[in-house]
Structure 1
């Protein structure tokens, strides 16, 4: 098992998550500002220019993105 430090995905629940209507269904999405932060961290990660704290933040955001993908897939499948 690999241990990885990450920012807890739940830390963005109050300020970084929104529900958006997509084809008559409400799906979990990042707010525009949190999506921009994720995009920025991903770009900087490709250039190997992240601090340890930013690596932890990116790991948490990617985990939250995986959670949203699973939840949204369930919502769509049950519609």
Structure 2
């Protein structure tokens, strides 16, 4: 995703490539990959990081309590599990 496209979005995307996720985390791409490279999810030739996942890491770093999500019946959908 190019920076000009990102500027037109109303909010950060739900999933991000390393370039965008590094900007989101306010670090260089190389620093981002060193710190968080192992938690990305590969999809085809791309690797993505979830904004919600990055938000949880930030909250943990600053000891910000996060509400626990309640399990819902639709959370048991495993149709995407083969993509990991």
Please give the range of the TM-score, normalised by the shorter of the 2 chains.
Answer: under 0.3
Q: Which of the two has greater helix per residue? A: 1
Considering Cα pairs closer than 8 Å and 6+ residues apart, tell me whether 1 or 2 has the greater RCO. 1
Q: TM-score of the superposition, structure 2-length normalised? A: 0.26
